[in-house]
């Protein structure tokens, strides 16, 4: 089954053609990073306008790369939740028009489910059940994936997501957007033991995360140093902050695996590209003899290929939409489209 998938939940306009949920025939991403860097973050209005401009060209390019015409596509898939509502609406409405005009089924895909499905493309042998750590700019979840479309949240952030904390701390250190990427690179040359930073936990919720206090600790440290006229090594502070965030993510994820007895662990989301997090989780699983999977770097960020992978399983489960499909800014990962009807 060949699925043309579209993704426009934030600041990347993407289109891809995926076969049977496991094979990428084409993948095109139009990034807006350079434009949003001027403002230090994503500007929703600008993002929506750029999606409107890019959605047709990226779709045409994805079909051309796959060597297919629209008539040779079996279904159209699109990210409908969660994300920036204006950005999502561009993709949803374009996909609805495309599916209607071509007479193809329309498959709605949850953005975070798509991130998890990126692993099906990197590891064709991977099958549920497994435990997944989803870490991105807007999400930090520990998800039990019982089946391809049956998922439940065991833990999540109570405030900032891990990626959001990275970006905000990096911004306070004077790094350009996207700060998490810049911090990860700089941290490789720093001393992670140079600064003592907290490893916050949530009382009564072992698997939940809280990164707001950790971010505030860094900002206060920077303000105090500036008031005293002291110089701080940005590389050392980056390394220390990165280590603290990764320690929190690793601690809760491993604890969830120990408590549930699941020995197949998976990581997904934009922050899954973080070099320390990849190394640390690999090592923790290696020591315990557990299986560990993570997406290749090109599939960590937002892309349409991962949406096409998940769309295959949503279709198999009967999650198909009509012209009533609408975008949703927020939606729990455990809710299928059929649950909303």
- Residues 331 and 285 grouped into a single domain: no
55 contact partners, CB below 8 Å, separation of at least 6: 6, 8, 13, 15, 90, 91, 94
Report the pLDDT value the prediction gives residue 39, as an integer from 0 to 100: 87
Q: For residue 122, tell me if it sits in a domain.
A: no
Is 121 part of a structural domain of the chain?
Answer: no
Q: Would you call 327 helix, strand, or coil by DSSP?
A: coil
Same domain? 318 vs 260: no
Say if residue 238 is in the same domain as residue 289. yes
Domain span including residue 59: 2-116+299-340
Q: How does strand 106-110 pair with strand 75-81?
A: parallel
Tokens linked to 77 = 């898939």
Q: Are 108 and 76 in contact (CB under 8 A)?
A: no
The Cα–Cα gap between 3 and 164 comes to: 32
List the structure tokens of 59. Answer: 């779709």
**Which is nearest to 29 in space by CA: 11, 9, 15, 44?**
15
CATH number at residue 9: 3.30.420.40
Indicate whether 153 belongs to any domain: yes
Please tell me whether residues 111 and 222 are part of one structural domain.
no
CA quadruple 48, 54, 55, 58: dihedral positive or negative?
A: negative
List Cα–Cα distances, 309 to 108, 126, 204, 222, 230, in angstroms. Answer: 12, 12, 36, 43, 51
Domain boundary (263, 280, 297) is at 297
Q: Which positions ≥6 away from 6 have C-beta within 8 Å?
A: 14, 15, 55, 59, 76, 77, 78, 79, 91, 94, 95, 304, 307
Each residue's pLDDT expressed in tens, for the chain with a length of 341 residues? 999 999 999 999 999 999 999 999 999 999 998 899 888 889 999 999 999 999 999 999 999 999 999 999 999 999 999 999 999 999 999 999 999 999 999 999 999 999 999 999 999 999 999 999 999 988 899 999 999 999 999 999 999 999 999 999 999 999 988 889 999 999 999 999 999 999 999 999 999 999 999 999 999 999 999 999 999 999 999 999 999 999 999 999 999 999 999 999 999 999 999 999 999 999 999 999 999 999 999 999 999 999 999 999 999 999 999 999 999 999 999 998 888 87
Residue 176 is given by DSSP the state P
Query: Quick one: 190 and 289 in the same domain?
Result: yes
Residues 45 and 145 in one domain: no
pLDDT of residue 119: 98
The pLDDT value recorded for residue 165 is 93
Instruction: Please state the domain count of the chain.
Output: 2
Q: Do 140 and 284 fall within a single domain?
A: yes
Checking phi first, is residue 204 left (phi over 0); if not, alpha (psi -120 to 50) or beta? left
Pair (71, 211) in one structural domain:
no
Task: Decide: pTM greater than 0.85.
Answer: yes
Are 115 and 136 a contacting pair, CB within 8 Å? yes
In a domain, 123, yes or no: no
Helices and strands counted in the chain (H then E):
11, 10
pLDDT of 178: 87
- H or E element at residue 120: helix 111-122
Claim to verify: residue 32 and residue 153 sit in the same structural domain? no
User: What is each CA distance from 327 to 51, 86, 256, 279, in whole angstroms?
Assistant: 15, 9, 32, 36
Q: What is the distance between the alpha carbons of residues 252 and 209, in angstroms, rounded to a whole number?
A: 8
Supply the pLDDT for residue 137.
83
User: Do 51 and 150 belong to one domain?
Assistant: no
Both ends of the chain: CA-CA distance in Å?
25
Cα dist. 166→11, 160, 177, 219, 231 in Å? 18, 10, 11, 12, 21
**Angle CA(161)–CA(164)–CA(170) in degrees, nearest 5?**
140
For residue 124, being part of any structural domain is answered with no
Same domain, 112 and 244: no
Specify the DSSP class assigned to residue 27: E
CA distance 323 to 43: 28
Q: How far apart are CA 291 and CA 285, in angstroms?
A: 7
Same domain, 264 and 307: no
pLDDT at 138: 85
């Amino acid at each position: 089954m060949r699925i043309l998938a579209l993704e426009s939940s934030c600041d990347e306009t993407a289109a891809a053609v995926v076969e049977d949920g496991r094979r990428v025939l084409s993948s095109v991403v139009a990034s807006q990073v350079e434009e949003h860097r001027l403002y230090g973050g994503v500007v929703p209005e600008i993002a929506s306008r750029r999606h409107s401009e890019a959605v047709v060209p990226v779709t045409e390019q994805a079909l051309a790369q796959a060597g297919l015409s629209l008539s040779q596509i079996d279904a159209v898939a699109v990210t409908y939740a969660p994300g920036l509502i204006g950005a999502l609406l561009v993709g949803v409405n374009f996909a609805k028009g495309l599916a209607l005009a071509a007479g193809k089924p329309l498959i709605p895909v949850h953005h975070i489910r798509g991130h998890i499905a990126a692993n099906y493309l990197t590891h064709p042998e991977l099958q549920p059940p497994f435990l997944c750590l989803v870490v991105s700019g807007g999400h930090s979840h520990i998800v039990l994936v019982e089946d391809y479309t049956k998922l439940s949240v065991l833990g999540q952030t109570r405030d900032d997501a891990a990626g959001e904390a990275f970006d905000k701390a990096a911004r306070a250190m004077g790094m350009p957007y996207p700060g998490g990427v810049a911090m990860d690179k700089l941290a490789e040359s720093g001393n992670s033991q140079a600064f003592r930073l907290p490893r916050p936990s949530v009382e009564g919720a072992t698997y939940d995360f809280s990164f707001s206090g950790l971010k505030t600790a860094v900002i206060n440290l920077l303000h105090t140093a500036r008031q005293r006229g002291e110089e701080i090594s940005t590389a050392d502070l980056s390394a220390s902050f990165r280590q603290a965030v990764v320690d929190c993510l690793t601690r809760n994820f491993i604890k969830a695996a120990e408590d549930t007895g699941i020995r197949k662990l998976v990581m997904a989301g934009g922050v899954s590209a973080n070099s320390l997090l990849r190394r640390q989780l690999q090592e923790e699983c290696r020591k315990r003899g557990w299986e560990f999977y993570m997406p290749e770097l090109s599939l960590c960020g937002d892309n349409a290929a991962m949406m096409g992978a998940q769309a295959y399983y949503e279709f198999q489960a009967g999650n198909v939409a009509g012209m009533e499909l609408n975008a949703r800014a927020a939606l729990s990962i455990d809710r299928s489209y059929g649950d909303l009807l």
